[in-house]
Amino acid sequence: MKQISTIIIGAGQAGLAMSKCLAERSVAHVVIERGEIANAWVSERWDSLRLLTPKWQSRLPGYSYSGSDPDGFMTMAEITEYLRFYAAQSAAPVEEGVTVTSVTVQSFGYRVETTKGDWLCDNVVLATGACAQANVPPLAGQLPSGVTSLTPMSYKSPAQIDPGGVLIVGASASGTQIASELITAGHDVTLAVGAHIRVPRLYRGRDVQWWMDQSGVLDTRADQVDDINRARRVPALQLVGDHSIDALDLNYLRWQGVKVVGRLCGIRNGYAQFSGSLANYCALSDQKMNRLLQGFDLWAESQSLIGLTPPERPDPTYVDPDPALRLRLCDGHIRTVIWTTGYRPDFNWLHLPVFDAKGALKHAFGVVAPGLYVLGLPFQQRRKSGLIDGVGADAETLSNHLILTRANRAA
Protein backbone atom coordinates (compact mmCIF):
# COMPACT_ATOMS: atom_id res chain seq x y z
CA MET A 1 0.00 0.00 0.00
CA LYS A 2 1.50 3.31 -1.14
CA GLN A 3 0.79 6.66 0.49
CA ILE A 4 0.89 10.19 -0.90
CA SER A 5 -0.72 13.54 -0.22
CA THR A 6 -2.79 13.88 -3.41
CA ILE A 7 -3.86 11.69 -6.31
CA ILE A 8 -5.02 13.21 -9.60
CA ILE A 9 -7.05 10.85 -11.77
CA GLY A 10 -6.65 11.66 -15.47
CA ALA A 11 -3.71 13.05 -17.48
CA GLY A 12 -5.50 15.29 -19.94
CA GLN A 13 -5.36 19.09 -19.83
CA ALA A 14 -7.22 19.26 -16.50
CA GLY A 15 -5.06 16.74 -14.69
CA LEU A 16 -1.83 18.21 -16.04
CA ALA A 17 -2.89 21.76 -15.11
CA MET A 18 -3.67 20.61 -11.57
CA SER A 19 -0.34 18.79 -11.37
CA LYS A 20 1.52 21.97 -12.36
CA CYS A 21 -0.32 24.01 -9.72
CA LEU A 22 0.31 21.46 -6.97
CA ALA A 23 3.98 21.21 -7.92
CA GLU A 24 4.32 24.99 -7.57
CA ARG A 25 2.87 24.63 -4.05
CA SER A 26 5.18 21.72 -3.15
CA VAL A 27 2.30 19.26 -2.74
CA ALA A 28 3.41 15.67 -3.24
CA HIS A 29 1.14 14.04 -5.80
CA VAL A 30 0.81 11.49 -8.57
CA VAL A 31 -1.26 11.58 -11.77
CA ILE A 32 -2.91 8.27 -12.63
CA GLU A 33 -3.87 7.71 -16.28
CA ARG A 34 -5.64 4.61 -17.61
CA GLY A 35 -4.10 5.03 -21.06
CA GLU A 36 -1.45 7.50 -22.07
CA ILE A 37 -1.09 11.26 -21.63
CA ALA A 38 -3.84 13.01 -23.62
CA ASN A 39 -5.52 9.63 -24.02
CA ALA A 40 -8.95 10.97 -25.06
CA TRP A 41 -7.43 13.12 -27.81
CA VAL A 42 -5.47 10.10 -29.07
CA SER A 43 -8.16 7.43 -29.10
CA GLU A 44 -11.63 8.95 -28.65
CA ARG A 45 -11.91 11.60 -31.38
CA TRP A 46 -12.50 11.38 -35.13
CA ASP A 47 -9.57 11.77 -37.51
CA SER A 48 -10.35 15.19 -39.04
CA LEU A 49 -11.34 16.94 -35.82
CA ARG A 50 -9.63 20.19 -34.95
CA LEU A 51 -9.98 22.24 -31.78
CA LEU A 52 -12.80 24.77 -31.92
CA THR A 53 -10.58 27.34 -30.21
CA PRO A 54 -7.60 29.05 -31.94
CA LYS A 55 -4.08 28.00 -30.99
CA TRP A 56 -3.47 31.21 -29.04
CA GLN A 57 -6.27 30.11 -26.72
CA SER A 58 -4.51 26.88 -25.73
CA ARG A 59 -3.20 28.37 -22.50
CA LEU A 60 -2.25 26.31 -19.46
CA PRO A 61 -0.56 27.32 -16.17
CA GLY A 62 2.94 28.49 -17.02
CA TYR A 63 2.64 27.51 -20.66
CA SER A 64 1.06 28.81 -23.85
CA TYR A 65 1.30 28.38 -27.60
CA SER A 66 4.33 30.17 -29.09
CA GLY A 67 4.33 28.93 -32.67
CA SER A 68 3.96 30.79 -35.95
CA ASP A 69 0.24 30.15 -36.49
CA PRO A 70 -1.61 31.52 -33.42
CA ASP A 71 -4.90 31.91 -35.31
CA GLY A 72 -4.91 28.35 -36.63
CA PHE A 73 -6.60 25.34 -35.06
CA MET A 74 -4.79 22.33 -33.63
CA THR A 75 -5.32 18.89 -35.11
CA MET A 76 -5.64 15.92 -32.77
CA ALA A 77 -1.99 15.05 -33.35
CA GLU A 78 -0.96 18.63 -32.50
CA ILE A 79 -2.98 18.82 -29.29
CA THR A 80 -1.59 15.45 -28.22
CA GLU A 81 1.96 16.64 -28.82
CA TYR A 82 1.18 19.93 -27.07
CA LEU A 83 -0.07 18.24 -23.90
CA ARG A 84 2.75 15.70 -23.82
CA PHE A 85 5.33 18.45 -24.18
CA TYR A 86 3.60 20.35 -21.36
CA ALA A 87 3.75 17.25 -19.15
CA ALA A 88 7.46 16.83 -19.87
CA GLN A 89 8.24 20.52 -19.29
CA SER A 90 6.45 20.51 -15.94
CA ALA A 91 7.86 17.09 -14.97
CA ALA A 92 4.36 15.87 -14.18
CA PRO A 93 4.54 12.60 -12.16
CA VAL A 94 2.25 10.63 -14.48
CA GLU A 95 1.76 6.87 -14.18
CA GLU A 96 0.37 5.69 -17.52
CA GLY A 97 -1.52 2.46 -18.14
CA VAL A 98 -3.03 2.40 -14.66
CA THR A 99 -6.80 2.10 -14.29
CA VAL A 100 -8.59 3.25 -11.15
CA THR A 101 -11.10 0.63 -10.02
CA SER A 102 -12.37 2.12 -6.77
CA VAL A 103 -12.23 5.27 -4.64
CA THR A 104 -13.54 4.97 -1.08
CA VAL A 105 -13.17 6.76 2.23
CA GLN A 106 -10.34 5.42 4.36
CA SER A 107 -9.81 6.82 7.87
CA PHE A 108 -9.32 10.57 7.38
CA GLY A 109 -8.55 10.32 3.70
CA TYR A 110 -9.21 8.17 0.66
CA ARG A 111 -8.28 4.72 -0.60
CA VAL A 112 -7.66 4.57 -4.33
CA GLU A 113 -7.53 1.06 -5.76
CA THR A 114 -5.95 0.55 -9.17
CA THR A 115 -4.91 -2.25 -11.50
CA LYS A 116 -1.32 -1.74 -10.34
CA GLY A 117 -1.69 -1.44 -6.59
CA ASP A 118 -3.55 0.62 -4.02
CA TRP A 119 -2.91 4.07 -2.59
CA LEU A 120 -3.86 5.98 0.55
CA CYS A 121 -4.08 9.76 0.18
CA ASP A 122 -5.48 12.89 1.78
CA ASN A 123 -6.88 14.37 -1.41
CA VAL A 124 -8.29 13.11 -4.71
CA VAL A 125 -8.77 15.24 -7.82
CA LEU A 126 -11.18 13.87 -10.43
CA ALA A 127 -9.79 15.07 -13.75
CA THR A 128 -11.24 12.50 -16.14
CA GLY A 129 -13.28 15.17 -17.92
CA ALA A 130 -16.87 15.71 -18.98
CA CYS A 131 -16.60 13.62 -22.16
CA ALA A 132 -15.70 10.19 -20.84
CA GLN A 133 -18.83 8.56 -22.29
CA ALA A 134 -21.09 9.30 -25.22
CA ASN A 135 -24.60 10.16 -24.08
CA VAL A 136 -26.80 7.82 -26.14
CA PRO A 137 -30.59 7.98 -25.53
CA PRO A 138 -32.44 4.77 -24.63
CA LEU A 139 -34.40 4.81 -27.88
CA ALA A 140 -31.18 3.80 -29.67
CA GLY A 141 -32.08 0.28 -28.64
CA GLN A 142 -35.11 0.44 -30.93
CA LEU A 143 -33.10 0.74 -34.14
CA PRO A 144 -33.96 -1.96 -36.68
CA SER A 145 -31.44 -4.72 -37.25
CA GLY A 146 -29.01 -3.92 -40.02
CA VAL A 147 -28.63 -0.27 -38.99
CA THR A 148 -25.20 0.52 -37.52
CA SER A 149 -25.15 2.71 -34.42
CA LEU A 150 -22.13 4.97 -33.80
CA THR A 151 -21.15 7.88 -31.56
CA PRO A 152 -18.51 10.61 -32.01
CA MET A 153 -16.23 8.44 -29.86
CA SER A 154 -16.50 5.44 -32.22
CA TYR A 155 -16.76 7.35 -35.51
CA LYS A 156 -13.35 7.94 -37.12
CA SER A 157 -13.83 8.82 -40.80
CA PRO A 158 -16.20 8.39 -43.77
CA ALA A 159 -14.20 5.31 -44.78
CA GLN A 160 -15.82 3.25 -42.01
CA ILE A 161 -19.40 4.17 -43.01
CA ASP A 162 -21.37 1.64 -45.03
CA PRO A 163 -22.63 2.86 -48.42
CA GLY A 164 -26.04 4.43 -48.03
CA GLY A 165 -27.81 7.06 -45.98
CA VAL A 166 -26.80 8.37 -42.58
CA LEU A 167 -29.03 9.82 -39.87
CA ILE A 168 -27.16 12.10 -37.47
CA VAL A 169 -28.99 12.87 -34.24
CA GLY A 170 -27.94 16.18 -32.66
CA ALA A 171 -26.82 19.46 -34.22
CA SER A 172 -24.16 20.86 -31.93
CA ALA A 173 -20.49 21.04 -32.94
CA SER A 174 -19.98 17.28 -33.34
CA GLY A 175 -23.18 16.71 -35.29
CA THR A 176 -22.70 19.55 -37.74
CA GLN A 177 -19.04 18.72 -38.37
CA ILE A 178 -19.70 15.03 -39.01
CA ALA A 179 -22.72 15.86 -41.20
CA SER A 180 -20.59 18.18 -43.33
CA GLU A 181 -17.82 15.61 -43.63
CA LEU A 182 -20.15 12.79 -44.65
CA ILE A 183 -22.15 14.81 -47.20
CA THR A 184 -18.86 15.88 -48.77
CA ALA A 185 -17.85 12.20 -48.94
CA GLY A 186 -20.98 11.42 -50.96
CA HIS A 187 -23.35 10.08 -48.34
CA ASP A 188 -27.02 11.04 -48.16
CA VAL A 189 -27.24 12.75 -44.76
CA THR A 190 -30.24 13.62 -42.60
CA LEU A 191 -29.64 15.76 -39.52
CA ALA A 192 -32.13 15.68 -36.62
CA VAL A 193 -32.02 19.06 -34.87
CA GLY A 194 -32.98 19.97 -31.33
CA ALA A 195 -31.57 22.71 -29.11
CA HIS A 196 -28.43 24.25 -30.62
CA ILE A 197 -26.38 27.45 -30.55
CA ARG A 198 -25.51 29.11 -33.83
CA VAL A 199 -22.54 31.50 -34.08
CA PRO A 200 -20.34 32.73 -36.94
CA ARG A 201 -16.69 31.70 -36.99
CA LEU A 202 -15.68 35.30 -37.70
CA TYR A 203 -17.48 38.46 -36.65
CA ARG A 204 -16.43 41.94 -37.76
CA GLY A 205 -13.07 40.57 -38.85
CA ARG A 206 -12.22 38.77 -35.60
CA ASP A 207 -12.66 35.16 -34.51
CA VAL A 208 -15.73 34.66 -32.35
CA GLN A 209 -13.51 33.23 -29.60
CA TRP A 210 -11.53 36.48 -29.58
CA TRP A 211 -14.77 38.34 -28.92
CA MET A 212 -15.80 35.96 -26.16
CA ASP A 213 -12.37 36.11 -24.56
CA GLN A 214 -11.79 39.87 -24.76
CA SER A 215 -15.34 40.95 -23.88
CA GLY A 216 -15.34 38.82 -20.73
CA VAL A 217 -18.07 36.39 -21.79
CA LEU A 218 -15.84 33.40 -21.08
CA ASP A 219 -14.96 34.74 -17.64
CA THR A 220 -18.57 34.82 -16.47
CA ARG A 221 -18.63 33.11 -13.07
CA ALA A 222 -20.99 30.32 -12.14
CA ASP A 223 -22.48 32.45 -9.37
CA GLN A 224 -23.37 35.18 -11.88
CA VAL A 225 -25.94 33.18 -13.84
CA ASP A 226 -29.57 32.66 -12.88
CA ASP A 227 -29.69 28.90 -13.41
CA ILE A 228 -26.28 27.24 -13.28
CA ASN A 229 -27.67 23.75 -13.94
CA ARG A 230 -29.25 24.94 -17.18
CA ALA A 231 -26.06 26.83 -18.11
CA ARG A 232 -24.05 23.64 -17.66
CA ARG A 233 -26.29 21.83 -20.14
CA VAL A 234 -25.89 24.39 -22.93
CA PRO A 235 -24.87 22.64 -26.18
CA ALA A 236 -21.48 23.23 -27.76
CA LEU A 237 -21.36 26.07 -30.29
CA GLN A 238 -21.90 25.18 -33.95
CA LEU A 239 -18.28 25.78 -34.92
CA VAL A 240 -15.52 24.14 -36.88
CA GLY A 241 -11.79 24.81 -36.64
CA ASP A 242 -11.54 26.23 -40.15
CA HIS A 243 -11.56 29.92 -41.09
CA SER A 244 -12.50 29.09 -44.69
CA ILE A 245 -16.04 28.29 -43.50
CA ASP A 246 -17.87 31.41 -42.32
CA ALA A 247 -20.35 29.42 -40.25
CA LEU A 248 -21.02 25.70 -39.98
CA ASP A 249 -24.72 26.29 -39.35
CA LEU A 250 -27.90 24.77 -40.73
CA ASN A 251 -27.97 27.14 -43.69
CA TYR A 252 -24.49 26.00 -44.72
CA LEU A 253 -25.40 22.33 -44.29
CA ARG A 254 -28.55 22.78 -46.39
CA TRP A 255 -26.41 24.37 -49.09
CA GLN A 256 -24.21 21.28 -48.97
CA GLY A 257 -27.26 19.04 -49.41
CA VAL A 258 -27.96 17.86 -45.86
CA LYS A 259 -31.64 17.20 -45.11
CA VAL A 260 -32.63 18.99 -41.90
CA VAL A 261 -35.47 17.63 -39.75
CA GLY A 262 -36.74 18.20 -36.21
CA ARG A 263 -35.65 16.58 -32.95
CA LEU A 264 -35.79 12.78 -32.92
CA CYS A 265 -38.57 11.90 -30.48
CA GLY A 266 -39.14 8.22 -31.13
CA ILE A 267 -38.57 5.10 -33.23
CA ARG A 268 -41.64 3.04 -33.96
CA ASN A 269 -42.44 0.29 -36.45
CA GLY A 270 -39.18 0.90 -38.25
CA TYR A 271 -39.69 4.66 -38.61
CA ALA A 272 -37.78 7.50 -36.95
CA GLN A 273 -40.24 10.11 -35.71
CA PHE A 274 -39.33 13.80 -35.53
CA SER A 275 -40.97 16.61 -33.60
CA GLY A 276 -42.58 19.58 -35.32
CA SER A 277 -40.57 22.06 -33.25
CA LEU A 278 -37.74 22.66 -35.73
CA ALA A 279 -38.81 26.22 -36.51
CA ASN A 280 -38.99 27.09 -32.82
CA TYR A 281 -35.52 25.68 -32.10
CA CYS A 282 -34.06 27.60 -35.04
CA ALA A 283 -35.76 30.87 -34.10
CA LEU A 284 -34.51 30.56 -30.52
CA SER A 285 -30.97 29.83 -31.73
CA ASP A 286 -31.02 32.86 -34.04
CA GLN A 287 -32.30 35.03 -31.20
CA LYS A 288 -29.49 33.92 -28.87
CA MET A 289 -26.87 34.46 -31.58
CA ASN A 290 -28.09 37.99 -32.36
CA ARG A 291 -28.19 38.84 -28.65
CA LEU A 292 -24.58 37.66 -28.29
CA LEU A 293 -23.43 39.67 -31.32
CA GLN A 294 -25.23 42.76 -30.04
CA GLY A 295 -23.36 42.34 -26.77
CA PHE A 296 -20.08 42.28 -28.71
CA ASP A 297 -21.07 45.48 -30.53
CA LEU A 298 -21.88 47.28 -27.29
CA TRP A 299 -18.59 46.15 -25.73
CA ALA A 300 -16.61 47.26 -28.80
CA GLU A 301 -18.29 50.66 -28.66
CA SER A 302 -17.52 51.01 -24.96
CA GLN A 303 -13.85 50.25 -25.66
CA SER A 304 -13.69 52.59 -28.67
CA LEU A 305 -12.17 49.82 -30.74
CA ILE A 306 -10.96 50.72 -34.22
CA GLY A 307 -10.19 48.64 -37.28
CA LEU A 308 -13.36 46.53 -37.08
CA THR A 309 -15.69 45.96 -39.99
CA PRO A 310 -19.25 47.30 -39.56
CA PRO A 311 -21.78 45.31 -37.49
CA GLU A 312 -23.61 42.63 -39.43
CA ARG A 313 -26.07 39.84 -38.82
CA PRO A 314 -26.17 36.43 -40.56
CA ASP A 315 -29.31 35.59 -42.51
CA PRO A 316 -32.03 33.89 -40.43
CA THR A 317 -32.00 30.10 -40.40
CA TYR A 318 -34.12 28.80 -43.25
CA VAL A 319 -36.69 26.18 -42.25
CA ASP A 320 -38.71 24.14 -44.71
CA PRO A 321 -42.39 25.08 -44.40
CA ASP A 322 -43.29 21.39 -44.19
CA PRO A 323 -40.31 19.47 -42.74
CA ALA A 324 -40.42 15.68 -42.70
CA LEU A 325 -41.85 14.21 -39.50
CA ARG A 326 -40.67 10.64 -40.04
CA LEU A 327 -38.01 8.65 -41.86
CA ARG A 328 -38.11 4.97 -42.73
CA LEU A 329 -35.20 3.06 -41.21
CA CYS A 330 -36.00 -0.50 -42.25
CA ASP A 331 -35.84 -0.30 -46.05
CA GLY A 332 -32.05 -0.36 -46.32
CA HIS A 333 -31.61 3.30 -47.28
CA ILE A 334 -30.47 4.49 -43.84
CA ARG A 335 -27.53 2.25 -43.01
CA THR A 336 -25.99 4.23 -40.14
CA VAL A 337 -27.18 6.36 -37.22
CA ILE A 338 -24.64 8.55 -35.42
CA TRP A 339 -25.69 9.78 -31.97
CA THR A 340 -24.10 13.22 -31.53
CA THR A 341 -26.26 13.77 -28.47
CA GLY A 342 -23.59 14.94 -26.07
CA TYR A 343 -21.28 13.38 -23.52
CA ARG A 344 -21.21 12.66 -19.82
CA PRO A 345 -18.55 11.93 -17.19
CA ASP A 346 -17.84 8.41 -15.99
CA PHE A 347 -17.38 8.02 -12.25
CA ASN A 348 -18.50 4.40 -11.91
CA TRP A 349 -15.44 3.71 -9.72
CA LEU A 350 -16.26 6.52 -7.27
CA HIS A 351 -17.95 4.67 -4.41
CA LEU A 352 -18.98 7.66 -2.33
CA PRO A 353 -22.34 9.35 -1.55
CA VAL A 354 -21.62 12.38 -3.76
CA PHE A 355 -24.24 12.00 -6.50
CA ASP A 356 -27.70 13.52 -6.86
CA ALA A 357 -30.94 11.67 -7.62
CA LYS A 358 -30.13 11.67 -11.35
CA GLY A 359 -26.63 10.29 -10.84
CA ALA A 360 -24.80 13.56 -11.47
CA LEU A 361 -21.79 14.48 -9.36
CA LYS A 362 -22.62 17.16 -6.80
CA HIS A 363 -20.01 19.87 -6.30
CA ALA A 364 -19.67 23.51 -5.32
CA PHE A 365 -17.42 25.13 -7.94
CA GLY A 366 -15.28 21.98 -8.05
CA VAL A 367 -15.27 21.08 -4.36
CA VAL A 368 -17.10 17.77 -3.99
CA ALA A 369 -16.33 16.86 -0.36
CA PRO A 370 -13.47 17.48 2.09
CA GLY A 371 -10.33 16.57 0.19
CA LEU A 372 -12.27 15.57 -2.94
CA TYR A 373 -12.22 17.81 -6.02
CA VAL A 374 -13.34 17.71 -9.64
CA LEU A 375 -11.82 19.63 -12.54
CA GLY A 376 -12.71 20.13 -16.19
CA LEU A 377 -16.53 20.06 -16.09
CA PRO A 378 -18.65 22.57 -18.05
CA PHE A 379 -19.14 25.93 -16.30
CA GLN A 380 -17.54 24.51 -13.16
CA GLN A 381 -16.31 27.89 -11.96
CA ARG A 382 -16.47 29.99 -15.12
CA ARG A 383 -18.04 29.72 -18.54
CA LYS A 384 -14.66 28.63 -19.96
CA SER A 385 -14.10 25.86 -17.39
CA GLY A 386 -14.60 23.14 -19.99
CA LEU A 387 -12.02 24.61 -22.39
CA ILE A 388 -8.27 24.02 -22.35
CA ASP A 389 -7.99 27.76 -21.70
CA GLY A 390 -10.24 27.50 -18.65
CA VAL A 391 -8.91 24.61 -16.59
CA GLY A 392 -5.83 26.56 -15.52
CA ALA A 393 -7.71 29.20 -13.54
CA ASP A 394 -9.92 26.53 -11.98
CA ALA A 395 -6.86 24.47 -11.05
CA GLU A 396 -5.30 27.50 -9.37
CA THR A 397 -8.43 28.03 -7.30
CA LEU A 398 -8.75 24.40 -6.27
CA SER A 399 -5.03 24.14 -5.46
CA ASN A 400 -5.33 27.14 -3.15
CA HIS A 401 -8.39 25.56 -1.52
CA LEU A 402 -6.48 22.30 -1.01
CA ILE A 403 -3.55 24.12 0.63
CA LEU A 404 -5.85 26.10 2.89
CA THR A 405 -7.87 23.13 4.08
CA ARG A 406 -4.69 21.10 4.62
CA ALA A 407 -3.36 23.90 6.81
CA ASN A 408 -6.63 24.03 8.75
CA ARG A 409 -6.55 20.28 9.39
CA ALA A 410 -2.99 20.53 10.65
CA ALA A 411 -3.78 23.44 13.00
> How far is 158 from 46, CA to CA, in rounded Å?
10
Q: How far apart are CA 283 and CA 289, in angstroms?
A: 10
For residue 409, pLDDT beyond 70: no
> Three-class SS of residue 1?
coil
CA dihedral (86, 12, 373, 174) positive or negative:
positive
Closest to 397 (Cα-Cα) out of 411, 374, 409: 374
**CATH superfamily, domain at 135-339:** FAD/NAD(P)-binding domain (3.50.50.60)
**Helix, strand, coil proportions of the chain in percent (round to 5)?**
30, 25, 45
DSSP annotation string for 42-99: HHSS-TT-B-SS-GGG--BTTB---SS-TTS--BHHHHHHHHHHHHHHTT--EE-S--
At 198, is the pLDDT very low, low, confident or very high (cuts 50, 70, 90)?
Answer: very high
Q: Is the pLDDT of residue 411 over 60?
A: no
Q: Phi, psi at residue 368, to the nearest 5°?
A: -90, -45
pTM of the complete model beyond 0.75: yes
pLDDT tens, residue by residue, 138-170 = 999 999 999 999 999 999 999 999 999 999 999
pLDDT digits (tens, 9 = 90+) for 309-347: 999 999 999 999 999 999 999 888 999 999 999 999 999
Yes or no: domain 2-132+345-410 corresponds to CATH 3.50.50.60 = yes
Question: In the chain, which segments carry CATH 3.50.50.60?
Answer: 2-132+345-410, 135-339
- Cα–Cα distances (Å) from 329 to 146, 157, 171, 293, 398, in that order, read 9, 22, 20, 40, 49
For residue 186, what are the contacts with CB-CB under 8 A and spacing of at least 6?
A: none
pLDDT at residue 408, rounded to an integer:
66
Nearest to 6 by CA among 384, 371, 320, 397: 371
- Average pLDDT of the chain is 95
